[in-house]
Structures are given as structure tokens and as C-alpha cells.
């Protein structure tokens, strides 16, 4: 009998949710950068394990929201967890140990999530980056978290190296309900191609200018054409909120946007398995974070 269901991966920003999702699927379905809150909307990756199909939902990080976009992202993450067949709470064990300001904030967010799980069904606790953590600290952290009573079991993994991930995947496969598969066996993601293309470019944008540019940029695929020679022509616009931010993305002599385009084109060519012609434009769109249409395109609740 086949099995199929949904497993939501929740956690604080930058806990490694997207890296874990990609590792479980065995293909790139979520973008990964060093910038916290990179994932803005739930991304579904499809993992196969024997007769089981696990639809992994990579959710935005859960934290104390301040902006409208923050609130929409956190609401989306919680909604996905409520409707899933299994919930994985991923915690950055290395960040818990370091005590650095950024890691301390992530630890506080993780504690908030643990507290929010009380009174509901129990989740699977997954400690990430365990290869970087001292054994005594790891054991103490595991005991403290497990004693909260909100977790059914614990797994220790390194999403980066893949250590421990197969055991987690096997357990998730067991937890999926009996059901016909929800997607074809060779499908790895459930994401519109235009949105996927925009996400890949946004990843490269953040990788290149993450220190200079705050969360003031987004990417929209404005045209996608299947050409007769089998290639794809993609036109995208990178929107920023202020005119002063355009030069940051363009770079001297257009070198920065050229790098972003070349890196995105390479990834898209590999994902789509065909040549890609990518054309980028940078424009100012002052209030894109307050436009209802942006939230609708991302599947987010504008009024969250």
C-alpha cells in the first residue's frame, strides 16, 4: 500500500530548513542564503522513500513579527504546521551553543516555538549542525528540549553534510498516511515555474549584496517564453524601494547585476535542463511590501 502526506518543517529563521528540505528531496527546491528570513512563503518539495511520498513543506522562519510581510510569513508557517501529517521542529544546535547576538535571537525564537507547541500534538525534534557541537552540550540541550513534553522523538542531523538525514526521512515515510501518491514519482517540487525562476534570482541577489541591501528587494518574472530551439527566454524585474538602492544592485559598470544574472542563469539551466536566456531589469517600486497583489502572488495573507 502506498503512502503520501505532508510534513511541515518549522523553525527559527536560518535554522537550516531550506537546506534540510533540499537534502531530503535530493534536489534544489528551496533557495538558501546566509540571510535570515530568506524563505518568504511555503515551498513544497516532494521526497520519495520506498512506497511513501513525503511532501515536505519548507516554511518561513517563525519569529516575533514587526512588519506586514513578517506577519504574513509567520502566519503561513503556522498554517502549514496545523494542516500537516507530521511536524518537524528544526533547531540550530550550533547556534544554541555559540551565544552570539544573532544566534541568541534565533535561540529565543526557537524557545518561543517550543512554547507554542504545548497543548497541541507532539512534533519531531530535529537538531541541526550537530557536527559542529560539543557532545556534552548536545546531550544537555537534547534533554532540556525533550523534557518540555512537546516532542515525540528526536533526530540529530547535519543538513549540510547529510549525516542523519536518511534516518529522519525513513521515519517521516512511516508517518505518512495510506494514500495514493499526490504527485508523479519524478516530480521534486510544487512551485509555478515563474515563481521558481524569480526565487532563484532572488537567491543570487541576496548572496551577492546581502550586507549592503536590507529586505528592500524582490524579484518578479515578467515574461517566460518557450523557444522553438528548446531554450527558455526569461525576463525578470528586480524591484527596490529607493532610487539609492539601484546602484547597489547594478554595481560598477553593471558588474553586480551581471554576476547575479549569470549565476541565476546557470542554476535555472540545470533545474530546467535546457539553455536559458535571462534578462534582468532593476526598477524602483517604493511600496511593494504594502501591495496586496504581491502577497497574492506569493500565496500569503495580506491581512495576517
- φ and ψ of 219, to 5 deg: -125, 135
User: With 80 as the cut, is the pLDDT of residue 105 above it?
Assistant: no
Cα 252 vs. chain centroid, distance in angstroms? 31
Average pLDDT over the chain, rounded to whole? Answer: 88
Per the DSSP assignment, residues forming a β-bridge with 128 are 92
Would you state the CATH architecture of domain 192-298?
2-Layer Sandwich (3.30)
Q: Enumerate residues 6+ apart whose C-beta is below 8 A from 186.
A: none
Q: Which CATH architecture has domain 3-175?
A: 3-Layer(aba) Sandwich (3.40)
Reported confidence tier of residue 37, pLDDT bands at 50, 70, 90: low
**What are the residue ranges of helices labelled H in the chain?**
17-25, 68-82, 93-98, 101-116, 135-146, 165-175, 193-209, 246-250, 255-272, 292-298
> 47-68: per-residue pLDDT in tens?
999 999 999 998 877 777 778 8
On whether the CB atoms of residues 284 and 243 are closer than 8 A, the answer is yes
Residues 291/61/6/96 CA torsion (nearest 10 deg):
180
Running DSSP on this structure, what letter comes out for residue 301?
-
Q: What is the pLDDT of residues 117-129, one digit of tens each?
A: 887 778 999 999 9
Put residue 93 in one of left, alpha, beta given phi > 0 → left and psi -120 to 50 → alpha. alpha
Q: From CA 114, how far away is CA 150, in angstroms rounded? A: 7
Provide the CB-side half-sphere exposure for 290 (13 A, CA): 4
pLDDT at 1: 85
Instruction: Report the distance separating Cα 239 and Cα 254, nearest Å.
Output: 16
Q: 248 or 210: which carries more pLDDT confidence?
A: 248
Q: Tell me what pLDDT residue 99 has.
A: 55
| Residue 188 φ then ψ, to 5° | -105, -10
pTM of the model: 0.83
Burial class (CB in 10 A: 0-12, 13-18, 19+), 105: middle
Q: Where are the domains of the chain?
A: 3-175, 192-298
More confident residue, 86 or 289: 86
Please report which confidence band the pLDDT of residue 112 belongs to, taking 50, 70 and 90 as the band edges. Answer: confident
> What span, in angstroms and rounded, lies between the C-alpha atoms of 264 and 271?
10
Average of pLDDT values for 180-184? 94
For residue 155, pLDDT beyond 90: yes
**Mean pLDDT for the stretch of residues 234-248:** 94
Q: pLDDT by residue (tens digit) across 190-221?
A: 888 899 899 999 999 988 987 777 567 899 99
- Which of the four pLDDT bands, split at 50, 70 and 90, describes residue 101? very low
**Alpha-carbon distances of 274 from 131, 202, 223, rounded to whole Å:** 37, 20, 17
Residue 103, pLDDT > 60, answer: no
Cβ atoms within 10 Å of 125's Cβ, excluding its own: 22
Task: Please give the average per-residue pLDDT across 171-196, as a whole number.
Answer: 92
Could you give the percent of the chain with pLDDT greater than 70? 94
Amino acid at each position: 500500500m502506498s503512502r503520501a502526506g505532508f510534513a511541515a518543517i518549522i523553525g527559527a529563521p536560518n535554522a537550516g530548513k531550506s537546506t534540510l528540505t533540499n537534502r531530503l528531496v535530493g534536489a534544489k527546491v528551496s533557495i538558501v542564503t546566509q540571510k535570515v528570513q530568506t524563505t518568504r512563503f511555503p515551498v513544497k518539495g516532494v521526497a520519495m522513500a520506498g512506497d511513501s511520498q513525503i511532501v515536505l513543506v519548507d516554511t518561513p522562519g517563525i519569529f516575533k513579527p514587526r512588519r506586514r510581510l513578517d506577519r504574513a510569513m509567520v502566519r503561513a508557517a503556522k498554517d502549514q504546521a496545523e494542516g500537516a501529517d507530521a511536524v518537524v521542529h528544526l533547531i540550530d544546535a550550533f547556534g544554541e551553543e555559540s551565544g552570539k547576538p544573532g544566534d541568541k535571537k534565533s535561540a529565543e525564537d526557537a524557545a518561543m516555538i517550543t512554547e507554542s507547541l504545548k497543548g497541541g500534538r507532539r512534533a519531531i525534534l530535529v537538531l541541526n549542525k550537530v557536527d559542529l557541537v560539543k557532545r556534552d552540550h548536545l546531550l544537555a540541550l537534547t534533554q532540556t528540549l525533550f523534557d518540555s513534553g512537546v516532542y515525540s522523538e528526536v533526530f540529530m542531523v547535519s543538513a549540510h553534510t547529510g549525516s542523519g538525514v536518511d534516518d529522519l526521512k525513513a521515519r517521516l515515510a512511516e508517518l505518512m498516511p495510506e494514500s495514493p501518491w499526490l504527485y508523479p514519482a519524478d516530480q521534486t517540487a510544487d512551485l509555478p515555474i515563474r515563481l521558481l525562476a524569480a526565487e532563484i534570482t532572488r537567491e543570487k541577489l541576496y548572496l551577492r549584496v546581502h550586507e549592503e541591501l536590507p529586505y528592500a528587494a524582490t524579484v518578479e518574472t515578467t515574461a517566460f517564453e518557450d523557444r522553438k530551439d528548446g531554450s527558455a527566454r526569461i525576463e525578470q524585474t528586480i524591484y527596490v524601494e529607493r532610487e539609492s538602492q539601484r546602484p547597489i544592485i547594478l554595481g560598477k559598470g553593471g558588474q553586480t547585476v551581471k554576476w547575479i544574472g549569470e549565476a541565476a542563469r546557470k542554476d535555472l539551466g540545470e533545474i530546467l535542463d535546457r539553455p536559458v536566456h535571462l534578462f534582468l531589469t532593476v526598477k524602483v517600486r517604493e511600496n511593494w511590501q504594502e501591495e496586496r497583489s504581491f502577497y497574492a502572488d506569493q500565496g500569503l495573507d495580506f491581512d495576517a
